[in-house]
Amino acid sequence: MGWAFKIPGLPHYVRNDVRVSLFFYERDIILNKIMATLKNIIAPSFCSSCKIFIETDFLCATCLALITPITTIKIPLTKKYQASLFAISDYQEPLRTLLLKKGHRNRLASEQLGNLLWQHSDVRYADFDIIVPVPLHWTKYAWRWFNQSEEIAHIMSKKSGKPVVHLLTRKRITATQAGLTRAKRLLNLQDAFVLSDNSQFYKYKKILLIDDVMTTGTTLQSCFKQLIKLSPLNLYGSVICRRL
């Protein structure tokens, strides 16, 4: 009669090969449960904001509920161009703390923010071809080994299947923007960014620009100003937080 596994609840006429595959199926479910339990013991997951224990995700329901959605705005650029700007929320908790984690050891925080951006903003409905992160000056990058915008861009790429292209370079070290008036911010960023590739290949592309936070929008505007030189078809921008 060959070999058979006795699986409770299965009638005797189920063929042996079906029984065997069901056996493996049930075994996998049990193994997965064991692995999940072990993972919670060895590396338990906590809410990234309030640190309470949670089983999945990275923010608990309470912290997620604190995030107030924000509307998509249009940034006017030239007569011909404007860019739609997506964001999760205002610059507030619990996002603020996560955004301040800007070291190379904080990749996970950026990844989580990227996932949140995809789930909680309209960027997932945008029709773009390529993703361009706002660059850091190379000295800053060498110091931190990390560019939050680039990490978020890679998550957008993973979600959308569209490539990240480093089309912009920061050629000047700019003074920190905080505390400057709008006019001074614009002056500070004047020609801070350049196109690193102006090939015809990028003509008529739909470009999504990624930064972590938008304050007055001068950084994004300076970047868009360069991207317009490529004659894109459409421009989008996306940030984690847009300051209100």
Which residue number, 63 or 152, has a Cβ lying nearer to Zn ion?
63
Question: Tokens 């350049």 correspond to what residue?
Answer: 194
Angle made by CA atoms 107, 176, 137, in degrees to the nearest 5: 55
Two tokens at 121? 């903003």
49 binds Zn ion (CB under 5 A): yes
10 binds Zn ion (CB under 5 A): no
Contact region for Zn ion (CB under 5 A) — 63-71, 80-88, 98-106, 200-208? 63-71
123 binds Zn ion (CB under 5 A): no
CB of 99 to Zn ion, least distance (A): 16
Contact (CB, 8 A) for 41 and 58: no
CB of 40 to Zn ion, least distance (A): 17
CB of 173 to Zn ion, least distance (A): 37
Query: What's 202's DSSP letter?
Result: G
Kind plus residue range of the DSSP H or E element containing 239: strand 234-242
63 binds Zn ion (CB under 5 A): yes
Which residue number, 57 or 122, has a Cβ lying nearer to Zn ion?
57
Kind plus residue range of the DSSP H or E element containing 88: strand 82-89
CB of 52 to Zn ion, least distance (A): 6
Contact region for Zn ion (CB under 5 A) — 43-51, 79-87, 134-142, 154-162? 43-51
| Cβ within 8 Å of residue 83, ≥6 positions away | 74, 75, 77, 209, 220, 224, 235, 236, 237
* C-alpha–C-alpha distance, residues 117 and 134, integer Å: 16
CB of 61 to Zn ion, least distance (A): 8
Contact region for Zn ion (CB under 5 A) — 19-27, 55-63, 80-88, 152-160? 55-63
Contact region for Zn ion (CB under 5 A) — 3-11, 39-47, 76-84, 107-115? 39-47
50 binds Zn ion (CB under 5 A): yes
241 binds Zn ion (CB under 5 A): no
Which residue number, 66 or 195, has a Cβ lying nearer to Zn ion?
66
| 3-state SS string for 207-242 | EEEECCEECCCHHHHHHHHHHHCCCCCEEEEEEEEE
Among residues 59, 38, 40, 41, the alpha carbon closest in space to that of 50 is found at 59
Contact region for Zn ion (CB under 5 A) — 62-70, 73-81, 226-234, 235-243? 62-70
Alpha carbon 215 to its chain centroid, in Å, reads 18
60 binds Zn ion (CB under 5 A): yes
Query: What's 175's DSSP letter?
Result: P
Footprint of Zn ion (CB under 5 A):
47, 49-50, 60, 63
